[in-house]
Amino acid sequence: MPTSATESRPAPHKETPKDTVISVLIAFIMAFVFRAFVVEAYIIPTGSMAPTLNGAHMRFQSAQTGFNWAVTPWEFDDATQNAPTAIQGLRSGGITVHDPMSGQTIYTPQVPRRAGDRILVLKYLYGVQSPARYDAVVFKNPTDPSVNYIKRLIGLPGEQVALIDGDVFTRQSSPLPPGDEWSAPGWAIQRKPHDVQRALWLPVFDTLYTPADLSLGGPGGPGGAGAGPFTQPWKGKGWTSDARGVFTSGSPGVPLEYDTSETFISARGIGRLARQLIDYYPYNEHPRALRHDAKVSDLRVRVGVIPEGPIDDSFEFVAMVRARSHEFRGVIRGSSARVEFRPMPEPGTGVEPAWTELASGTVALKPGRVTAIELWHFDQTVELWADGALVTRGGTEGRYDWSPLDRVKYATGQTLADNLAQATPPQHSLANHAAYRSAAVQLSCSRRVTLTRIGLDRDVHYQSWASQAPNGLSTVGLATLPGRVPTLLKDQYFCLGDNSPASSDGRYWGLPEAWVSFLMRSHGMSLAHQEGVVPHDLMLGKAFFVYFPAPAGSGWAWWIPDFGRLRFIR
């Protein structure tokens, strides 16, 4: 007699305590394996990568402008300055900072300290794939291998590295002439990919953050900041603006210029803020003064352009950056676009140097419609963007290729030889930020036009002098002067922090800890090739995602992440 379908089914397995224990053990083993070999979570302890990644910090938001920003902690639990207090301001009688957009003084009696960003790191990726320049990498600190560091990878194995006027130059390792290593052939600037560059633009000013009450904020004097009314830094004869920073042109062709002459002064007198085109970070506002006067020439100007009347060849809109003894501009004439540069005209000569076109394209402006225009000047590249798309392309893609000799000459107005002859390193003018020429920015149009949400951003600038050299070896950084050129051997890397004036990185580490030095010697790396480098054996992986940004509140709200800052790391 055939067996029924019900009778043919096997008896259901009854899970025993042993099965449960085995399942839990397997889950734990898989989790540990995944953590050890695939992805691991890290917390950012300090602000050396700010504002890309924030360590423990305070966060402020101006009620007048709406601008939101982070500031490094002021108060610590111990003498080592490693443990910021949970409530900032209790010891100092309150925290006073300044809105980077308006200069308005903001005083808060108590500020909760926020934890650093929590990130995910792809571990051992570099066992199968070589690290790429400008990756955000995690590694063991060569001077203290018990501590993990995160920095941006700048120099690769087999390269020599030079940081010139804030940018990265490299060449393939080969003998260098003593004393003037930057004169050797083969140097080339290392440009950042667009996604990295876009992530690294730092806001200087944006008319979006014009104060609601224009009587507040503004430049103060030595006795205090924010004493006077707010004034727009964009100025031009015949240009008018409303209370929200929307500008309308009067006389055609008259430029609207960014004014850096007004300087905000901290109530503590520690330094300049905001409107100067310098290597200043609002994150670093602290009672201890920081060196942030390095002049920055890599800039992005953003503007919403609303033309009036038909768009034909009589319509010409120009965005210009003056820097390094040259003029760099993006020009939109009718439906065509181009980027070009030329030497700065010599005053009083009446001679107008010819423009050199770098790239061209097309753009569609429409009367009465806002088109978001951006001029990028970065890493010896000039680009014009419209509504988020690159519109100027060409054989050189907007690039101008200067050697270190050219860059020094145009940035300082003196030849490298003249700079080297002025004094004994590290005191010569290449380490003196005052020797570099300031940048300027302007906008103009041949016809009546309205400009809205004008923004100015600057690039990361790897300066030669830091506020702190942890080992005290030098006041200037490795790779920032001739005679201080690192030569990277096989499996060696050179890494820097995004917070240039307040980062302990390859510029200032000096020689590694004894155990790391022994490890490097075992791989054939002599003492002369150990300063400031990270050996491959200390590389842990690539940081790729901020999964738990600094929480949005305190108490129970501490467990709620700041979802608006969840992001991939570029």
> What local confidence, expressed as pLDDT, does residue 330 receive?
97
Instruction: Give percent of the chain with pLDDT exceeding 90.
Output: 57
* pLDDT tens column, 382-426: 999 999 999 998 767 899 999 999 999 999 999 998 888 876 655
* Residue 108 shares a structural domain with residue 249: no
Q: Considering only 44-58, 231-245, 255-269, 279-293, which range has the smallest mean pLDDT?
A: 255-269
Q: What count of Cα atoms within 13 Å lies in the side-chain half-sphere of residue 275?
A: 21
Could you tell me if residue 430 is inside a domain? yes
* Rounded Cα gap, residues 544 and 549, in angstroms: 13
Q: What CATH number is associated with residue 216?
A: 2.60.120.560
Is 121 a residue whose pLDDT tops 80?
yes
- Position with higher pLDDT, 536 vs 33: 536
Full domain range(s) for residue 70 = 58-117+549-568
Asked if residue 138 belongs to a domain, the reply is no
Q: Are residues 226 and 95 in the same domain?
A: no
Show which of 458, 491, 522 is a domain's final residue: 458
Strand partners, 390: 385
In the predicted model, what is the mean pLDDT of residues 78-105? 85
DSSP state of 502: G
User: With bands split at pLDDT 50, 70 and 90, how would you rate the model's confidence at 203?
Assistant: very high
* Number of neighbours of residue 476 by Cβ within 10 angstroms: 22
Most confident listed range (123-132, 468-477, 501-510): 501-510
Query: In this structure, is residue 356 part of a structural domain?
Result: yes
Which range, of 13-22, 307-316, 493-502, averages the lowest pLDDT?
13-22
Query: For residue 230, is it within any domain?
Result: yes
pLDDT for 500-520, tens place per residue? 988 999 999 989 999 999 999
Task: Examine residue 234 and state whether it is found in any structural domain, yes or no.
Answer: yes
Q: pLDDT at position 92, please?
A: 83
Residues 223, 103 share a domain? no
Instruction: Indicate the range of 224-228, 336-340, 484-488 predicted with least confidence.
Output: 224-228
Mean pLDDT of 124-142: 87
Q: Does some domain include residue 426? A: yes
The mean pLDDT of 274-279, rounded to a whole number, is 82
Residue 177, pLDDT above cutoff 70: yes
For residue 187, what are the contacts with CB-CB under 8 A and spacing of at least 6?
Answer: 162, 169, 170, 171, 403, 404
Domain end (from 458, 491, 513): 458
Examine the fold and report which residue of 434, 458, 482 is the final residue of a domain before the chain moves on.
Answer: 458
pLDDT of residue 423: 67
Does the structure show a pLDDT above 50 at 474? no
Residues 444 and 323 in one domain: yes
pLDDT at 527 exceeding the cut of 80: yes
Amino acid at 33: V
Q: Which residues pair with 534 in a beta bridge?
A: 493
Lowest mean pLDDT among 17-26, 66-75, 250-259, 424-433: 17-26
| Same domain, yes or no: 113 and 211 | no
Say whether both 307 and 408 belong to one domain. yes
Reply yes or no on whether the pLDDT at 91 is more than 90: no
Does residue 337 lie within any of the structural domains?
A: yes
The mean predicted confidence, pLDDT, of the chain is 84
The most confident of the ranges 93-97, 227-231, 326-330 is: 326-330
- Pair (440, 554) in one structural domain: no
Averaged over 87-111, what is the pLDDT?
Answer: 89
Among 35-39, 120-124, 170-174, top mean pLDDT goes to: 170-174
**Are 111 and 214 found together in one domain?**
no
- What's the structural domain count of the chain? 2
Place of tokens 């949005």: 552
Residue 536: pLDDT band with limits 50, 70, 90: very high
pTM: 0.89
Q: What is the average pLDDT across 29-53?
A: 72
Helix (H), strand (E) at residue 405 = helix 404-412
pLDDT band at 290 (very low <50, low <70, confident <90, very high): low
To the nearest whole percent, how much of the chain has pLDDT over 70? 82
> Same structural domain for residues 319 and 431?
yes
Does residue 180 lie in a domain region? no
Q: Tell me: do 429 and 556 sit in the same domain.
A: no
Burial class (CB in 10 A: 0-12, 13-18, 19+), 509: buried
Provide the pLDDT for residue 346: 85
What's residue 495's pLDDT? 97
Q: Within this chain, do residues 241 and 111 fall inside the same structural domain, yes or no?
A: no
At residue 532, what is the residue type? G
Mean pLDDT for the stretch of residues 33-50 = 75
The answer to whether the beta carbons of residues 493 and 529 sit under 8 Å apart is no
Q: Which residues on adjacent β-strands are paired with residue 402?
A: none
Above 80 in pLDDT, residue 269? no
pLDDT at 223: 34
Confidence of residue 463 (pLDDT cuts 50, 70, 90): confident
Same domain? For 437 and 300 the reply is yes
Contact 495, 503 (CB under 8 A): no
